[in-house]
Chains A and B, each alone.
Chain A
């Protein structure tokens, strides 16, 4: 079953977006590499700097991937060229969603796994796993919302607002969970203790992310034509 999707062309569109994004991605890979090397120096200052740099790289890569594949294409009117190719709006949506999830998902998964391995295999308290998951959950949520907005809304201003706004919210979010004793308490312990608020927040993040992406896919997929 391919659900009427034009799979070869979707693949080509993803490869095309990847090629367009390649130069930027190379820069992010280099930056990520440098951040990992900083972590590898095994000094406290290098550890903080490295993990900060990693988050910055991840967020920047996510935002610019959206910008390159959706916003710039719209602004530079190359979108008309893509739409003239034999694709339906559903194919186009699938290519954009999959392509973006790939460019974001791969580094995101690698970083998440790496972070969990570092926490679990080093003397760092294992309770931090929950904090790390909530943090990555927020980045995922911010990314999904930005992607959904970028696919639905043409206005560049709203898109920039969605991207920067959702990512910047990470600070108040961290402060907020700092206030919740049930989450904050077990962080320094060596057991991974799930509290109800933590579980609810993570579930909420995952649900909203999935809903935003699924809603976008559904909304775009039922359009018969682009305009």
Chain B
């Protein structure tokens, strides 16, 4: 006679750790691939029309509605999963093993890809500034600026590779804090339980969102940006804390539907703030609070949904997650190179969007298949 087992709160939490790793791996891949969609969509965003070099003549408010919601959840989710896998690596290989992995998988790709990505982006943009007949306001600005006899150089910026730079920074911080014995503090936080977290997390993020523009920009400076540390750091820490005990989240399951709806409602309020345009450098307390709530709860909602529905291994998802890193590294120059010429075409914008996304994704996957998957590059970005 087997003893009665305690009722499992939900199917996916009852599954073995391997299955959960699948779910997280898939989530990370989707978060990175969502980046391609997001960056492609920015060309048709009214909110970003005057800041984005590849901004098209046409735009639609619906793009804003979808893109910026994605934006608030995508990178927090990415850092949460990164934290989880960092803790797992730390447990298996120790601090020196982690350092070696970070050097090989993040530092080397960052140092190598950065000048290449930066150079090709600059090249595409310079070409576009000279050649495009219907330039975006930003492109026009760049054209004027390039026309100066001696254009001042700008400080180097990490561009869309900022996430690699921040992963390195967080790894260094993790080493320093652990060495100083602060690992136990995270443990004590986790012991307070998930409901506590659901309230504390948005409050932690709030000042970070206030200290930057809305929608928040990418922290591309080479100096660590305080707001980005404050916004993404807690997610990385939460991922660290969740390692080995995803079931800790189980009590939040019953809030899944109401939480998701609440996020959408809050987002509607936030979008109302944006009707007056994006803000730069500072955000008022109210929209910042909304952003904090959506980022915190939205990320948890997506995490829980992913754990429930993405837990099964699938060949397609597996291939996507293997190629996600490479795809994300190279997609932006490809996208810009495709979208600049598209600016002059008279196609309706959804067609341009679809074409840009399809072509970029195809090129990324093709290059992954040919250049990375079966070559030594696989050790670094595979």
Contact = CB atoms under 8 A, between A and B. Distances in A.
Size bin of chain B's contact surface: 20 to 34
Given A37-B226, A37-B229, A40-B221, A121 B153 contact: yes
Interface in B134-160: 152-156
Give the one of A26, A30, A39, A122 with max B CB within 10 A.
A26
A26 B175 contact: yes
Given A117-B156, A121-B153, A122-B155, A33 B172 contact: yes
Contacts of B223: 36-37, 39-40
B176 interface: yes
Contacts, number: 47
A222 interface: no
B180 A26 contact: yes
A78 B154 CA distance: 52
B179 A37 contact: no
A203 B267 CA distance: 61
A119 to B, nearest CB: 11
A29 B226 contact: no
A23 to B, nearest CB: 6
Given A26-B179, A29-B176, A33-B172, A121 B226 contact: no
A117 B156 CA distance: 9
Given A26-B175, A26-B179, A121-B155, A36 B226 contact: no
A160 to B, nearest CB: 26
B224 A36 contact: yes
Nearest to A30: B176
B225 interface: yes
Contacts of B221: 40
B177 interface: yes
Contacts of B176: 26-27, 29-30, 33
Contacts of A121: 153-156
A22 interface: yes
Interface in A11-36: 22-23, 25-27, 29-30, 33, 36
Contact of B179 (A22, A39, A117, A123): A22
Nearest to A23: B179
A223 B172 CA distance: 40
B203 interface: no
A123 B172 CA distance: 30
Contacts of A30: 173, 176-177, 180
A15 to B, nearest CB: 10
Given A40-B221, A121-B156, A27 B180 contact: yes
Contacts of B152: 123
B219 to A, nearest CB: 9
A122 B153 CA distance: 8
Contacts of A117: 155-156, 222
A117 B173 CA distance: 23
A52 interface: no
A209 B180 CA distance: 33
Given A39-B223, A117-B156, A122-B155, 12 more contacts: A22-B179, A26-B177, A27-B176, A29-B176, A30-B173, A30-B177, A33-B224, A36-B223, A36-B224, A40-B221, A40-B223, A117-B222
Interface of B: 152-156, 169, 172-173, 175-177, 179-180, 221-226, 229
21 contacts: A26-B175, A26-B176, A26-B179, A26-B180, A29-B175, A33-B172, A33-B173, A33-B176, A37-B223, A37-B224, A37-B225, A37-B226, A37-B229, A39-B223, A40-B224, A40-B226, A117-B156, A117-B222, A121-B153, A121-B156, A123-B152
